[in-house]
Structure 1
């Protein structure tokens, strides 16, 4: 028997992480494109960088790399619990939010179980369902690309185990109104757990956004996922966390690898949480950048969605694959092509530094004025 025949049955449905141009490090992009300068606006990275206090704490943590870290990340748990008004037992850490999504799937999904996922959202939910041999059930979006909770409720069956929501949603940046979430949970059957990815929570200021942590406190079957990769700008350190009722957190701990979050990341997380001034600066830069993009899109006649994240969804009316290639090859600007969702004229553009956004806007003006 060939070794290719020994892999699990789910193998043909799984894909390695993309090696497409938009997913590569900047230095590799430069080599491929043959450019001295590349502007990467495809990964929703924070241009401000991490808190200086976090950098200092992480440097200090390097002195004890010979020692194993806290397996559960006790100090991080305590700090998050203090901020969110929950118990440390309600919190579990992960090696980035991606690992948390995978651990939830490993904890709850058996082959044949169903996972309901909106058609336009973060792709890792689909990947984790396939990993466990579960069946993804894609739910249609509203006409404005908002998440349609009623459509999700209509697709619940006795096989449904998980529902995955992203709020604010990636790649649209839209949020789910509180009244819709309230009504949704009132109708939810007791055999379903709702996973709510709040990776962009800290960017989502405004009365329209509502975090689902209060549902956790009321012991709804809700598990909220957050990350230090976005506003805290610690993407390379890989640290995510989940907040949920104790029975859910306890169950996920059974599949969590020991020491899955290193001591350097833990030290940076605690310091980041304590540096609220840095967070306010990051939010202010992001709001300014979004305003610049909105103004440019309006001048160019593009349709866009008001974003509660650090990126903006835009429909240029032009073939997105061709526009992606043009921006990359001629201008060294990398954005996210959304044609994989069937959105063949749409892009997701990260809010980068002012110089990066200026380069993008100049490129768009040049292309579309021609």
Structure 2
């Protein structure tokens, strides 16, 4: 049984977020299934918790399961249980999540990942309040309220034949759609302050000295593809890296992988070349593999060539042309070259090209 924790409070004051909370308060008391839709990191599980604890089942069991964490067979068994001997290793009867959540609520995350067989059994539970365990023949009656969530567009999946239309109809008694963080701009600093103070306490700092104006601008202007979960990680990382609660946070570490020394992914051509060379070596033991025909042909060089210097000259020319094209704005140049802002800064420092560029103005 999951317990509601005070630290799980939903925080926000934007109109779109307040509308969601009002929607939850309206639908939670009804004994109907609820479907929650939102991008990753928007707080779908917290909304599901709120739906349970605002319902008449608040003092009963609240069971959760991520449908993407199990394969089809295990998911069916975990949801509906199985009888002894139903399959190899099933030595005794197992109660599934629906039985354990009887008279309470069951939250199923990543619902779009379920198979058609599981969807059929889910439909039967919603319609008739009964199901059969795997390997069983007698119906099991339950009174379990289903709360489901997904980050997929279920109507589109239904049109593609990947999700049952009849199950979607039953689940969609009412749909709560969560706004992404980029649509809740006025909530960003409220959440950031909350996460920063909690992290400062965890680090046993005497206080949290806030964010500089530069850090606030970066937090507010970032598009947050990972939403609230990503914001929490970014803020906690940035507070921890300061190392002192008396110093305001000025550097926001958006990407912990960001480094000029980060390994670059191989191109498809390079991967094919390596595979071809490996196969050649295996087919002809003791013989050196010949260069693959898929690799780019070397230029016809008639004069001695310093490869390292030639590569540097090429990078410098590419950077200079891109800077000129983007009017020497570093942010636009980084985007133009498919780099992060900090990766571009690393290259510019390496080749002493920072003078005359603008890294702050859009």
TM-score (norm 2): 0.29
Structure label with greater radius of gyration: 2
Which structure's residues are more often strand, by fraction? 1
